[in-house]
Amino acid sequence: MTHELPKLPYATDDLKNVISSQTFDFHYGKHHQAYVNNLNNLIVGTPFENATLETIIKESDGGIFNNGAQVWNHTFYFESFSPNPKTAPTGRLLRLIESDYGTLSEFKEKFNKAALTLFGSGWAWLSLNNQGHLEISQESNAGNPLRKGLKPMLTCDVWEHAYYLDYQNRRADYLQKFWEILDWKVIEERLG
């Protein structure tokens, strides 16, 4: 199976108030594409040659895992945005957030703290666990909650290439702007 860089559901300048076209050119056009290319080269002749990204994440290690997870993580991240997002969750997702975190504002504070305090490169995640509760987690490097049996709901990329051109070392500023383009409709659809 040949993996491909997925098409974005918006133009790269549609989110320019939060993520510049220059960042998209590097983050999506170069970094994301490099993970796709590396994965396609690495899986040739291995048991993962025809595997889905989910299987690669759950069962592989080393370079195949790192590149496969980064393809999946980046796709999941980029697909969470919209130039005209639903700005707040409703229904079941809002009830889960309120049950597990109090208010949407308290949830955002806890999520931002996880993203801010992750040392080095990685991802902050919101996932649904097997007991039907939401969990915020930090994953270093290419880490993905699928490996722990969780259902990812949303993620924030805190590798420097995600924000450095626009925000330099101001990760907190990037996180505040992240919420402006996050489309809660997409997150609700993931919950099912």
Tell me if domain 21-78 and domain 91-191 are identical in fold: no
Instruction: Quote the pLDDT of residue 123.
Output: 98
Q: How far apart are CA 3 and CA 7, in angstroms?
A: 12
Buried/exposed 170-187: b ≥16 CB within 10 Å, e otherwise: ebeebbebbbebbbbbbb
Mention the CATH class of domain 91-191. alpha beta
Tens of pLDDT, residue by residue over 29-74, are 999 999 999 999 999 999 999 999 999 999 999 999 999 999 999 9
Q: State the helix-helix crossing angle for 91-101 and 104-117, rounded to 10 degrees.
A: 70
Q: Are 70 and 35 in contact (CB under 8 A)?
A: yes
| In the chain, domain spans | 21-78, 91-191
Radius of gyration of the chain (CA): 16
Instruction: Quote the pLDDT of residue 69.
Output: 98
Buried/exposed 54-84: b ≥16 CB within 10 Å, e otherwise: eebbbebeeebbbbbbbbbbbbbbbebbbee
Q: What is the pLDDT along the chain (192 residues), one digit of tens a residue?
A: 899 999 999 999 999 999 999 999 999 999 999 999 999 999 999 999 999 999 999 999 999 999 999 999 999 999 999 999 999 999 999 999 999 999 999 999 999 999 999 999 999 999 999 999 999 999 999 999 999 999 999 999 999 999 999 999 999 999 999 999 999 999 999 998
Instruction: Quote the pLDDT of residue 29.
Output: 96
The position carrying tokens 């990329």 is 157
CATH code, 21-78 = 1.10.287.990
Instruction: Quote the pLDDT of residue 51.
Output: 98
Instruction: Quote the pLDDT of residue 158.
Output: 98
Instruction: Quote the pLDDT of residue 73.
Output: 98
